[in-house]
Amino acid sequence: MKSKKEMELEKVIISKLENKSLLAAKILFMDKEVEFLMNHSNNVSIKRLGFNDHGPVHMKRACLNSLIMFELLTQAKIKFNLEKEGVGSAEDSRVSVIIASLLHDIGMSVSRENHEIYSSILGINIIDRTLKSIYQDDLEKIVIVRSTILEGIIGHMATKIINSLEAGLVLIGDGCDMEKGRARITSMIQRKPRVGDMHKYSASAIQTVKIEKGNVKPIRITVLMRESVGFFQIEEVLFPKIISSPVKEYIELFAGVIGEELLQYL
């Protein structure tokens, strides 16, 4: 059974899409294997490891974040790699971003360590059948979009070098999901100190993450927090992901405690 929050996120995501990208989202939202993988990833993350949300709400938030940035780059007339290289369209790039962001953490159902690799292994059959439904017998397009999706999945931890804007959006979209709700369940069920608690406490301090049109660059990300411990999330999670992303040159990054002057990182 999907939660109310999941269904709300699905509705917002679908409202932003059309054509092939809309079909991609609808297929994955109806796929029971995807649903079970997302749910078990959260079970392993929260109950077994005591980490933050790595389940369906997180993956759908990451997808929405990536789509918002995708649209801002499109409005700024920025061409994505598939179009720029003459091997696809902006719509193909959007399809790759949607699928990669919705599947990027399913490997947490196996292990935290190398989970991005497990996500690609678990996701490959899902990716292939989804792309087959979208592109029918266009094998060349399936191969190209599948490779872009896998780059986004494998690159989302900023531990592997990525080279496309498509994968770069998945990386930053994931990093932008750091608001207080992501650590809520872990904080409720866990009492004893454990490794990784700094991520939980710092995430709990983050009030809002806004992604909007920038003043100088196409994208502005503003992170507001209740306490300065939230800077850990900026400096150890989000900022390194942006720095590692090919999208970096298009981003302004601001962060600060509510009521105080914002610090500009980029």
Domain boundaries, position 247:
4-264
Which residues contact residue 231 at a Cβ distance below 8 angstroms, ignoring those fewer than 6 apart?
202, 225, 255
Average pLDDT score over residue span 129-151: 98
Q: Compute the CA torsion angle 232, 234, 238, 241 (nearest 10 deg).
A: -80
Segment 172-195, tens digit of pLDDT:
999 999 887 544 444 444 445 555
Number of independent structural domains in the chain = 1
Least confident of 41-55, 79-93, 190-204: 190-204
Half-sphere exposure of 121 (CA within 13 A, CB side): 10
Q: Which stretch of DSSP H or E encloses residue 105?
A: none
What does the pLDDT read at residue 3? 93
Question: Could you tell me if 116 and 157 are in contact, meaning their C-beta atoms sit under 8 angstroms apart?
Answer: yes
